Amino acid sequence: MADPMKIRATMSGDKVEVKVLMSHEMETGQRKDAKGATIPAWFIQNVTATCNGKTVLSAEWGPAVAKNPYMSFKFAGGKPGDKVAVTWVDNKGDKRTDEATIS
């Protein structure tokens, strides 16, 4: 299981600004190890963010995203005290969900 995501959700005017730092190796499948063997691909494929159960972001990623990816986005309709949950699923089927409270 991957380390917890660092999530910050704050009100910015009438929108909620969410900043997420994910912990993941994000291997492309194109690098080789010291013995010359290809390191298998291992990357986040799907990212979903919800606010109080309603989807506010859905994204599909590929192997070109950097190690330990950072993501930032804004959405309308949230208020202080609401919960924002971020979930990722990688190409090996591993899954991680963490949440933050809007401040």
Asked if residues 98 and 4 have their Cβ atoms less than 8 Å apart, the reply is: yes
Quote the pLDDT of residue 33.
95
In angstroms, rounded to a whole number, what is the distance separating the alpha carbons of residues 84 and 81?
A: 10
In angstroms, rounded to a whole number, what is the distance separating the alpha carbons of residues 18 and 29?
A: 30
In angstroms, rounded to a whole number, what is the distance separating the alpha carbons of residues 54 and 64?
A: 28
In angstroms, rounded to a whole number, what is the distance separating the alpha carbons of residues 35 and 84?
A: 43
> Position of tokens 């994204």?
59
Q: What are the boundaries of each domain within the chain? A: 6-101
CATH architecture of 6-101: Sandwich (2.60)
* Cut 0.75: pTM above it: yes
Quote the pLDDT of residue 1.
59
Work out the burial of residue 30: count CB atoms within 10 Å of its CB; fewer than 13 is exposed, 13-18 middle, 19 or more buried.
exposed
Per-residue pLDDT of the chain (103 residues; tens, 9 = 90+): 579 999 999 999 999 999 999 999 999 999 999 999 999 999 999 999 999 999 999 999 999 999 999 999 999 999 999 999 999 999 999 999 999 999 9
